[in-house]
Amino acid sequence: MITDPEVYTRGVPYEHLASLRRGSPVVRVDDFWAVLGHSDVKHVLKNPKLFSSRLGGTQIRDPATEQDLGYVRRMMLNMDPPEHARLRGLLTKAFTPRAVAKLTERIQGWARDLIAGVRADGEGDFAAIAADLPLLTLAEVFGIPEQDRRLMYDWSNRVIGYQDADYAVSATVEADEVTDLARTALAVRPVPGPDGSMPDPRTRAGMPDLYAYATALGEYKRRNPGDDVMSNLMSHVEDGGRVSIAEFENLFWLFSVAGNETLRNGIPGGMQALLSHPDQYRRLLADRSLLPGAVEEMLRWWCPVMHFRRTATEDVVLSDVDIRAGEKVVVWFSAANRDETVFEDPDRFDIGRAPNDHLTFGHGPHFCLGAQLARVQLRAMFEAVLDLLGEVEPAGEPVRLRSNFQNGLKSLPIRW
């Protein structure tokens, strides 16, 4: 049940997850061990020597071929120390508190512009309204021309489209809207086959336009370096350098897809939390000092990324369960974030919840680099909503993403 993407079109099966967790915090599901308890999830994530990201990647589904496995292993998400630390160390400068603080005013301005732009309409689809904020932010941080940012929207859609047919063929960008760099990529954008199918987007061959753009952008940054993440990475891509071309390209994939999609689902998820708890909405409207805590509770209660996989490197015991070397171990954040041994009344959305030790950004060596940047964007968007729209209400049924990995909303109609 917890792996069936169709289930999630009706909502995350929290009751079923809780029932499984009460039986045992580590349970066998299909061909993997599901880790559902908060402390066990933490233990797995902070021990990469026992639970590897590299061996089988971080998705439940095994890569189809050895070549595909080799491809995903060049992505930082699927690396173990020391390789992971080498790449992460090159990126941390872009995500320090000082670097994020420099961006904060611009992010706040973008958020206000997005909300001000729809204010007179009286209603709209919040999922669509909010989608541009992470794109604008990523374009700024990574040095992507602003007019090319919608490419990331299409790439993200296609990557999650392997479970949701509505997103599988996403092509909203036209050649006359983008830079010459992007036109090169659009020329190789996949099109549906005779049967309507698209190539697997979780393989390199399935995303030729993304990789074409990464290559073109990398060459541009080599010739015209700027004060951005891609320029910094490209300065290390030399013969014998600290970053290989494959690593550069896969970091671009990680930023432009994962960095976008997670927040794109998290912002509407936060709004859905408020809409379904109007007392908490009014509480926040009356006291803006609660906004930082409200953002943390949105992250816990909605939890955009529901799980990640590890692979046991040796025989190990976890909560009295014997796990053999080579077996899949999948940490389930959406279960751990509602563990009643850690969170009182865990299904309740409480913007004043403290402490709030949620695991939405992970734990250990792979703790999300962009966590602070995500928090700033969430605060900026909801501050703009509170200031410019006041209290909003549902204007129709939300449409959920068909995915067992991303907890997402494709549409969230609201009125104000």
* pLDDT tens digits, one per residue of 370-393: 999 999 999 999 999 999 999 999
**368/1 Cα distance (integer angstroms):** 28
CA distances from 287 to 66, 282, 416 (A): 54, 9, 19
Whether residue 173 contacts residue 211, with contact meaning beta carbons closer than 8 Å, is answered with no
What share of the chain in percent tops pLDDT 90? 75
**Letter for the amino acid at 153?**
Y
Output the average pLDDT for the chain.
94
First CA to last CA distance, the chain? 37
The arithmetic mean of pLDDT across residues 5-30, rounded, is 97
Which sign, positive or negative, has the C-alpha torsion 331, 95, 160, 216?
negative
Which sign, positive or negative, has the C-alpha torsion 278, 8, 352, 384?
negative
* pLDDT tens digits, one per residue of 252-298: 888 888 888 889 999 999 999 999 999 999 999 999 999 999 999 99
Burial 223-234 (b: 16+ CB within 10 A, else e): eeeeebbbbbbb
Closest CA to 356 of 315, 397, 301, 283: 301
The arithmetic mean of pLDDT across residues 382-406, rounded, is 97
pTM of the model: 0.94
**138/157 Cα distance (integer angstroms):** 16
For 333, other C-beta atoms within 10 Å of its C-beta total 26
**335/204 Cα distance (integer angstroms):** 31
pLDDT value at residue 287: 97
Kind of pairing, strands 328-332 and 32-35? parallel
pLDDT value at residue 227: 87
Whether residue 416 contacts residue 275, with contact meaning beta carbons closer than 8 Å, is answered with no
**130/132 Cα distance (integer angstroms):** 6
pLDDT-wise least confident of 131-135, 213-217, 242-246, 261-265: 242-246
The arithmetic mean of pLDDT across residues 351-378, rounded, is 96
Closest CA to 111 of 295, 246, 289, 278: 295
| Residue recorded with tokens 């073109």 | 216
- Residue 34: which H helix or E strand, with range? strand 32-35
Whether 240 shows a pLDDT value over 80: the answer reads no
pLDDT value at residue 238: 61
Burial 264-275 (b: 16+ CB within 10 A, else e): bbbbbbbbbbbb
Whether 24 shows a pLDDT value over 80: the answer reads yes
pLDDT value at residue 274: 98
pLDDT value at residue 242: 77
- 201 pLDDT band, cuts 50/70/90, is confident
CATH of the structural domain 5-415, one choice from 1.25.40.20, 1.10.167.10, 2.70.170.10, 1.10.630.10: 1.10.630.10
**264/133 Cα distance (integer angstroms):** 8
The arithmetic mean of pLDDT across residues 240-259, rounded, is 83
The arithmetic mean of pLDDT across residues 8-16, rounded, is 97
pLDDT-wise least confident of 122-136, 141-155, 324-338: 141-155
Q: What is the DSSP string of 197-217?
A: ----TTSSTT-HHHHHHHHHH
Whether 132 shows a pLDDT value over 90: the answer reads yes
- 365 pLDDT band, cuts 50/70/90, is very high
User: Structure tokens of 29?
Assistant: 């599901």
- Residue 394: which H helix or E strand, with range? strand 393-394
The arithmetic mean of pLDDT across residues 397-413, rounded, is 96
For 357, other C-beta atoms within 10 Å of its C-beta total 15
User: Structure tokens of 122?
Assistant: 């009286």
**231/222 Cα distance (integer angstroms):** 7
